[in-house]
């Protein structure tokens, strides 16, 4: 259930090198990005979360889709798209804010993120929060890796995480 009462969301989609992306937006910004899901499943998840009205509006999503296209073309290194977090605990939101500050082409370990949010031994809790990130890519959870340099997990699959890291200049082989 969203933290704020939201009766209506807009959504759009675009084809990307990692599959179709679906984005949900409010008038304040992007609130959800789903990778390689069916439109039906995407809409059902939003309906199940309590959203009453969903309207496709590609014009409302034009700025974010343009930024994503530029990101995948290696022309954009920092998103300016407004974000409107509707979900998440205060801890998860703190983690997501830290993820947003990881620069393009850089990575952090779960432990480093845990230390940066004030819970040095909370790397597992950070891992769970990273896994619940509702706006992947824009909030770059793919930039968080294991302390030993391993990829760790990724909601859309490790191959997608590897692709995104390689896109940003990391040389990570299969």
Active site residues: 141
- The span from the CA of 6 to the CA of 53, in Å, is 9
Q: What is the DSSP string of 65-109?
A: HHHHHHHHTT--SS----B---S--HHHHHHHHHHHTSPTT--EE
Residue (of 137, 136, 89) closest to 117 by Cα position: 89
Q: From the CA atom positions of the chain, what is the Rg in Å?
A: 16
CB 148 within 8 A of CB 101: no
CB atoms within 10 A of CB 126: 27
Structure tokens at 21: 């992306």
């Amino acid at each position: 259930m969203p933290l704020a009462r939201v009766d209506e969301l807009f959504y759009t989609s675009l084809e990307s090198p990692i599959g179709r992306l679906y984005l949900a937006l409010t008038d304040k910004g992007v609130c959800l990005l789903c990778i390689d899901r069916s439109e039906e499943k995407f809409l059902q998840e939003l309906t199940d979360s309590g959203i009453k009205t969903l309207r496709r509006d590609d014009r409302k999503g034009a700025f974010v889709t343009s930024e994503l296209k530029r990101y995948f073309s290696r022309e954009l290194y920092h998103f300016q798209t407004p974000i409107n977090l509707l979900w998440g605990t205060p801890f998860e939101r703190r983690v997501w804010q830290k993820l947003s500050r990881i620069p393009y082409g850089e990575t952090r370990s779960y432990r480093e993120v845990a230390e940066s949010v004030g819970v040095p031994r909370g790397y597992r809790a950070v891992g769970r929060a990273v896994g619940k990130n509702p706006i992947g890519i824009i909030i770059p959870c793919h930039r968080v890796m294991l302390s030993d340099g391993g990829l760790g997990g990724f909601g859309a699959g490790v191959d997608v995480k590897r692709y995104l890291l390689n896109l940003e200049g990391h040389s990570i082989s299969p």
